[in-house]
Amino acid sequence: GDSVTQMEGPVTLSEEAFLTINCTYTATGYPSLFWYVQYPGEGLQLLLKATKADDKGSNKGFEATYRKETTSFHLEKGSVQVSDSAVYFCALASGNTPLVFGKGTRLSVIA
Q: How far is the CB of 43 from other proteins (least distance, A)?
A: 4
Question: Across the strands, what pairs with 35?
Answer: 48, 90
β pairing state of 105-110 and 11-14? parallel
Contact 36, 42 (CB under 8 A): no
Q: Is 43 in the site for other proteins (CB under 8 A)?
A: yes
- Residue 92 near residue 34, CB atoms below 8 Å: yes
Q: Is 58 in the site for other proteins (CB under 8 A)?
A: no
- Binding test (CB under 8 A) with other proteins, winner from 89, 92, 107, 109: 89
Among 41, 69, 70, 111, binds other proteins (CB under 8 A): 41
Min dist. Cβ of residue 16 to other proteins (A): 28
